[in-house]
Structure 1
Amino acid sequence: MKDKGKVVNFVLFLAFALLVIAAAERIGFQSVTVGSFKIGLLPLVFAIIITMVLGMKVFRKGIFKRIYSEFNVSFAGKYLIFIMLPLMARYGADVAPKIKEILSIGWVFIIQEFGNLGTVLIGLPIAILIGLRREAIGATLGIGREGELAYISEKYTLNSDEGRGVLSLYIIGTLFGTIVFSIIAPILLGLGFSVEALAMSSGVGSASMMTAASSALIAQVPDQAETIRAYASASQLLTSFLGTYTMVFLAVPLQRFMYNKMVKRGKQ
């Protein structure tokens, strides 16, 4: 009976997901003007907002309690990467037509990888300042995507303080990162940043964030859609590959050094 209940909950979960997708697509792309800026809101953003609101404790009753069951939530997080695999294949197809142009400025993509250290240099001091300790190690190693999740789970397990830190960041990034990226990209475009630079900066290691940022840019500059997709996809692929080595050989030692210094100083 218990397994039967899980099956029913899962079917409800799938039906709910399809309804949310249909509702978000029905809303479609919306443009909001804030001062002199135009902010593009994608259907993906509306889908996230709908699921966030309905997942709040006040609404989690009756059928929504079954939809947001612990099993369904765990399943969605665990198998998110498989949903992203077709998107990864699309990245490769987008990169191919622009490969010569991308290779001509390849060094810029490589230098961009040092930006991954920003989570340690900026995030770790703030985390320590607000009272986090071992949780800060998981939360500030990167932007909390699959690479950091795998490293922390292998080294510390996800039941550790470090594991809770990286899981928290993974969830927060999934919920809010897409919304932030879909808003900040067109704002920076309005401030005068080049569309190529913004497309490159979209690939931070998160497929959903990259898609949100690049789609928002395409909505603003549709005539450069091919360039935006190619640059964003190349940056995303490179970040997923080189980002692992940047994390292991640069971010981890730097984080360990900074953490030991700051925690010792805090105890004095």
Structure 2
Amino acid sequence: MKIKDLVYLIAFVLVIITISEMIGFQSISVGDISIGLLPLVFAIVITMILGLQFFRKGFWKQIYSKVNIEFSGKYLLFIMLPLMARYGADVAPQIREILQIGWVFIFQEFGNLGTVIFGLPIAIMIGLRREAIGATLGIGREGELAYISEKYTLDSKEGRGVLSLYIIGTLFGAIFFSILAPILLGLGIRVEALAMASGVGSGSMMSASSASLVAQMPEMESTILAYASASQLLTSFLGTFTMVFLAAPLQQFMYKLLVRGEK
């Protein structure tokens, strides 16, 4: 990657961040429910719009070049490292309370099986076959991407399935979670439960969900961030084992049961 391309990419990111922060947190009321839209949501929407083929001309074509996209995807993990450190800092002050209900965090890991139990039959019903294996193994983040790429390669049908879900999650995941969390809070679900549910294994989704909850209940900021961070750390660690030893075998069994006669 050329230095000039890197400079343009960094400048573009800084401009998007500045615009999004200037917009700031916005709240939309739908009946008795208040939906919070974070600067992160606006940043995603702006970059999505500018990434449309219609705008990919001249300077914008250079920004959204294949080299820049591959570079951003390759080093995404390093960009997330400061966020992982923040998780630990948020968990530490609430560690005693978290340990007291630790079994709940472990029990929620079985929720990772939901994508297989509910998603696989629906995917097959709408016409997917081997692609459904990659698309329903989990929420399609880095863990699932690595597992599918190692076992099937990304050029396979399974690889196309997980890549499709990864792209969709990147584009819409944070937006969906930032809207869903305050809606569920308005329906009376406890904020602690929603904070725990925010840790699904995606840093952007967790941040969007927990920040939306904090915006609704700022007096519980430390509790929300601690629960969400602990859940995220546990999901990142245990989620891999759940996927390999539970989700993948269950998925293979269900696939053979639902798609009979396929070799």
Partner of 1:255: 251
1:143 aligns with 2:110: no
SS in 2 for 1:58: helix
1:92 aligns with 2:88: yes
Structure 2 counterpart of 1:110, one-letter code = I
The alignment of Structure 1 onto Structure 2 pairs a total of residues equal to: 262
SS in 1 for 2:94: helix
1:9 aligns with 2:20: no
Q: TM-score normalised to the size of structure 2?
A: 0.97
Unmatched runs of 5 consecutive residues or more in structure 1: none
Q: Deviations over 1:153-211 (max 9, x none)?
A: 11111121111111111111011000000000001010001110000000000010000
SS in 2 for 1:32: strand
Match of 1:25 among 21, 24, 30: 21
Q: Deviations over 1:47-77 (max 9, x none)?
A: 0000000101111111111100011111112
SS in 2 for 1:204: coil
Structure 2 counterpart of 1:100, one-letter code = R
CA distance in 2, matches of 1:134, 1:78: 26
Match of 1:245 among 235, 241, 248: 241
Match of 1:127 among 123, 128, 134: 123
Partner of 2:200: 204
Aligned-pair identity in percent equals 73
Structure 2 counterpart of 1:86, one-letter code = P
Alpha-carbon contact 1:10-1:67 (below 8 Å) kept: no
1:58 aligns with 2:49: no
1:221 aligns with 2:191: no
Q: Deviations over 1:68-97 (max 9, x none)?
A: 001111111221111111100110111111
Unmatched runs of 5 consecutive residues or more in structure 2: none
Match of 1:37 among 30, 33, 37: 33
Q: Deviations over 1:102-121 (max 9, x none)?
A: 01111111110000000001
CA distance in 1, matches of 2:194, 2:77: 25
Structure 1 counterpart of 2:83, one-letter code = L
Structure 2 counterpart of 1:245, one-letter code = F
Match of 2:63 among 64, 67, 83: 67
CA distance in 1, matches of 2:3, 2:126: 42
Coordinate RMSD, CA, aligned = 1.1
1:76 aligns with 2:77: no
How many Å apart are 1:7 and its aligned residue?
Answer: 4.0
